Amino acid sequence: MTTSASTATPARLLPGDPRIETWRGFLHAHARLLRRMDEELQAAHGLSMAEYDALIQLAGAPGRRLRMSALADKVLLSRSGITRLVDRLVADGMVERSACTTDARGAEAILTAAGLDRLREASRTHLDGVQRYFLGAMTDDEVASMGHSLDRIAETLDERVDPSDPVCTAALEG
C-alpha cells in the first residue's frame, strides 16, 4: 500500500538510495536545458536567460515596474546580482532605474519600450525552445503530472512575499 507524499512520513534519505537518481536527473536536465536555451537566446538576440527572465518579470508586473529586491527574488538572483544584470539592461536601453516614490531607500526597474520590443522578438526563440526541449520530450499526461509535482514542491517551500518590501504604489498611481 502506498501513501501520498503529504501524509507519508518520509524515510531518511541515504547516499545509496535509488531515489537520489531522480534528484540528479532533475539537476542534470535543468542545467542542460537552461544552458541550451541560454545559448539560443544569446545567438539569436544577444540576451542571456537571466536577462530574458528579468524582462519577462517586468513585462508582467503592474506598470511594467518592480522594486529591485522583488525583481531579484523573482529571477532568483542576489541583490548584487540583480544590480549587475539591471545595469546591463539599462546600458542597452531595455530598462530604466527609478527611485521609489514611496520609500526613498528603494529603487525600481522599469521596462522601456525598447525592452518590450526586444522581449517580443526573443519570445519566439524562447517559446520554441520550451516546446522543443521541455514539453516536446513528454506526453500530455507527463506534462500535467510534472506540473502537479512542481506545484507541490513549490507549495512545500512556502515562498512568500516579504511584507517589509512594499510595492511603490504611488509611482503606479502618478
Domain boundaries, the chain: 36-144
pLDDT tens column, 8-65: 556 788 888 888 999 999 999 999 999 999 999 999 999 999 999 999 999 999 999 9
Indicate the DSSP class of residue 86.
Answer: H
Q: What is the pTM of this model?
A: 0.80
Find all residues with CB under 8 Å of 39, minimum gap 6, and list them: none
- CA–CA separation, 147 vs 125, rounded Å? 22
Q: What is the pLDDT of residue 106?
A: 83
| CATH code assigned to 36-144 | 1.10.10.10
With cell 526586444, the residue in question is: 118
pLDDT tens column, 124-163: 999 999 999 999 999 999 999 999 999 999 898 865 445 4
Q: What is the pLDDT of residue 8?
A: 59
Pairing verdict, β 95-99 and 65-67 = unpaired
Residue 96 three-state SS:
strand
Find all residues with CB under 8 Å of 68, minimum gap 6, and list them: 79, 82, 83, 86, 97, 106, 107, 108, 109
pLDDT tens column, 75-98: 988 888 999 999 999 999 999 999
Half-sphere exposure of 31 (CA within 13 A, CB side): 6
